[in-house]
Amino acid sequence: MEKQVLLYEGKAKKVYATGDPHLLIVSYKDDATAFNGLKKGTIQGKGAINNRMSNLLMSRLEQQGVPTHLVKELNDRETLVKKVSIVPLEVIVRNIAAGSFSKRYGVEEGLVFDAPTLEFSYKNDDLGDPLLNDDHALALGLASREELDLIRKYSLSVNRLLREIWGACGITLVDFKVEFGRLEDGTIVLADEISPDTCRLWDSKTLEKLDKDRFRRDLGGVEAAYVQVMNRLTGGL
Ligand code: ADP
Ligand code: UDP
């Protein structure tokens, strides 16, 4: 399958049409952004790591009953995926307080929740991805009640499965963001990516941050953290 016209260039990936109207090729870049695009940089080797890692994780999730957009990894940066119409919601699942949760509610990073929390943001860069609840999503016509229920169920399954996978690698899954889309027949599938760009991953023993927070917060050792997470995952799978 060959790349054809570039349909979209986002902050971390490019999306190309293919000869098949139901399939797209996503190409992962080394570009990194944070704070709604205000901070920009490059993380050498990130594109290849995120491509591989997202595909490894999605194929695991697919085996465990979560439908995904993954079709086939084409090369180190590019993957063939099912074309979806993205549901404009960022679904964030948290096991431990961090980032915007800690800031918004004034709690220390590291507070471990009794049960996972799930929140939605409206995927809209111009508005800064504002937080919204089910009623808001329904009022804005972003998804139906049935779709929201399914998205919630899949997201909590993803959390349970990813915690197991990362746990086996000595890594604690703090939180993550996922996106879902609709196939032509309306079927909801997990889309976009799962990587250290979209998950907070802490070393289970030392609590060292092994994700994009190293870039966001200028902690150094960004590339090394991505490589370490990838090596631990392939060692643990
Ligand atoms: P952003 O748009 O936030 O800058 P990216 O650089 O990751 O993000 O761009 C990838 C874009 O492709 C995102 O907008 C994402 O929602 C979209 N996308 C991911 N998977 C699919 C898919 N299977 N079909 C259509 N669009 C997708
Ligand atoms: N996240 C993401 N994309 C976004 C916003 C958040 O992938 O546009 C991820 C982020 O990496 C973290 C989780 O979602 O793993 C929760 O992020 P949070 O709401 O704490 O926001 P942040 O601190 O990143 O602003």
Tens digits of per-residue pLDDT, 45-71? 999 999 999 999 999 999 999 999 999
Mean pLDDT of the chain, nearest integer: 97
pLDDT, position 237? 56
Q: What pTM does this model have?
A: 0.97
Query: Rounded distance, CA 150 to CA 89, Å?
Result: 13
For residues 157-172, give the mean pLDDT. 98
Residue 236 has pLDDT above 90, yes or no: no
93 CA to centre of ligand 2 in angstroms = 10
Provide residues with CB under 6 Å of ligand 1. Answer: 8, 10-13, 15, 24, 69, 81-84, 86, 179, 181, 191-192
| Band of residue 174 on the pLDDT scale cut at 50, 70, 90 | very high
Strand partners for 117: 94
Q: What is the pLDDT of residues 70-79, one digit of tens each?
A: 999 999 999 9
* The predicted structure's pLDDT at residue 20: 98
Return the beta strands (E) in the chain as ranges. 6-9, 13-17, 23-28, 31-34, 39-42, 70-73, 78-82, 85-86, 89-96, 112-122, 131-132, 171-182, 188-191, 199-203
- CB of residue 198 inside a 6 A radius of ligand 2: yes
* Amino acid 166: pLDDT: 98
Band the pLDDT of 103: cuts 50, 70, 90.
very high
Ligand 2 neighbourhood includes 214 CB (under 6 angstroms) = no
User: Looking at residues 192-211, what average pLDDT do you find?
Assistant: 98
Ligand nearest to the CA of 11: 1
On the question of pLDDT at 120 being above 80, the answer is yes
Domains and CATH numbers, the chain: 6-82 (3.30.200.20), 85-222 (3.30.470.20)
* Residue 101 near ligand 2, beta carbon < 6 Å: yes
Residues 82-89 have a mean pLDDT of 98
What integer pLDDT is reported at residue 1 of this predicted model? 83
DSSP state of 111: P
* Binding site membership of 99 for ligand 2 (Cβ less than 6 Å): yes
- What would the two tokens of residue 47 be? 């594109």
Residue 169 has pLDDT above 90, yes or no: yes
pLDDT score of 36: 86
Sign of CA dihedral 192, 90, 159, 143: negative
In the chain, % of residues over pLDDT 90: 96
